[in-house]
Amino acid sequence: MSNNTTPTSLSFEEEHLSDRVVEISSPREKSPLTDVNSPILRSVRSSSSESLNRKHKLDEEEEVSLEGNTRMGGEKETFYKGSNAKRTRLDPVLRDNRQIAENSLNPRRTQKITKSKSKTSMFDPDTTKYIEEIVLGGYVIKTWHSSPYPDEYNRAERLYTCEHCMRYMKSGGVYGRHITTCHVSPPGIRIYEGMKGDQRIRIYEVDGAKGTEQKLYGQMLSLLGKNWLETKMICYDVEGFCFYVLVEVEEDNGKEIEHTMGFFSKEKFSYGNYNLACICVFPHFQKKGYGRLLIELSYELSKRERKVGSPEEPVSQMARHAYMSYWRKALLRTFCHASDKQISTFNVDELSQMTAIQVNDINAALRYMGLSKLCKKGTRNTVVITKDMIMNYVTKTGEKWERPELNVSLLVWEPRD
């Protein structure tokens, strides 16, 4: 008897993303981030949340009208990524192996999450992390923390986000149709374009109070970043913040395609002289120096404002490591460029004005470098540095400090009045 069984149609995830799930979720990259149930205080939904709901209602209406596109139940789901997407069929054994690999990397996925239907009050917020994965720019990325999406989206185990406009969707079919036509740049002003190694990058400034488009973009960007930030609290009240969005530029058949890599936010008016509120580099772009580049940008903005800045507390362990790396390199460049003498004396307060780094952060960096004990006796906040000390430190640690991450001559930005 011949077998007339029709092969099952594969979803986009099985055809295009199976090789990227394990890569993003490898234990080496995610080892310090296994605590996925971090507590956050979910605020009462404001009018901003309602505007996001109205915006995404169009996606849900479009989803109903699609023929053959369903999310569950084994029915067919059509998913496209670009007009020239190569469609390949995956062997069932490979699909089973992929599922086994995912379960071994994240044991929580082997246990079904019980979702309570009872509503929680603002005094007893629901902090359960329901969204397990984010599809972003062709990558399936595990989430590390919960994000206060609207309830109808927060209950989905997988959320699809456009890396260009930051709109989020529950359906792969809707997302597939959306990304074939959406190639917009972040709204706002382009303030930087340059090279980092062989990669061309751009930075945009998005003002959360300038128009509905920039406000919605800031809200959706904040919600996306919260999936990997434990301490970020503000996702909807973005009018008092500016967002500095880092993108890489890819050439595709003569067309430029931008891929969002990360961002940092900054309060417009900070009484604590904070030059950075939160910073996030998306997991598939980490360990490439982009975090230090964004940190360097935040201090360059402080220099142009003629202020001394510092990141807003609390700072995550990953961000603290990146900050310490920047502080060390900034001090090394200052020590070597400020004087040609064999022995130089620096006042910590003067160093703070030259680098825009707060005194406490400078002292922390000096202690880390083992140079705090070289402070001149009897002179307050003064450190004595010799060329030999710098060379010995660089030789011992292998610190690469000569070349900054940011070419400040290409930065087009002026402080606000």
Cβ neighbours, 10 Å, residue 407: 13
**Packed helices 317-338 and 387-397: angle between N→C axes, nearest 10 degrees:** 140
Q: What is the pLDDT of residue 345?
A: 82
**More confident: 323 or 67:** 323
For residue range 26-39, list pLDDT tens digits in order: 333 433 333 434 43
Number of Cα atoms under 13 Å in the Cβ half of residue 51? 12
Comparing CA positions, the residue from 340, 348, 417 lying closest to residue 382 is 348
Over 90: is that where the pLDDT of 148 sits?
yes
Comparing CA positions, the residue from 379, 299, 305, 311 lying closest to residue 346 is 379
314 cis-preceded (ω within 30 degrees of 0):
yes
Over 70: is that where the pLDDT of 24 sits?
no
For residue range 68-94, list pLDDT tens digits in order: 333 333 333 333 333 333 333 333 333
Over 80: is that where the pLDDT of 415 sits?
yes
Report the length, in residues, of the chain.
417
Q: How far apart are CA 246 and CA 264, in angstroms?
A: 9
**More confident: 108 or 150:** 150
Q: What is the pLDDT of residue 401?
A: 77
Q: How far apart are CA 27 and CA 263, in angstroms?
A: 24
For residue range 261-304, list pLDDT tens digits in order: 999 999 999 888 899 999 999 999 999 999 999 999 999 999 99
Q: What is the mean pLDDT of the chain?
A: 75
Q: What is the pLDDT of residue 117?
A: 33
Residue type, 256: E
Domains of the chain: residue spans and CATH: 12-91+99-104+126-179 (3.30.60.60), 189-320+406-410 (3.40.630.30), 324-397 (1.10.10.10)
Q: What is the pLDDT of residue 163?
A: 95
Q: Which residues are catalytic?
A: 312
Q: How far apart are CA 131 and CA 146, in angstroms?
A: 7
Q: In the chain, what percentage of residues exceed pLDDT 70? A: 65
**pTM for this model (two decimals):** 0.71
For residue range 99-138, list pLDDT tens digits in order: 433 343 343 333 332 333 333 333 344 556 679 999 998 8
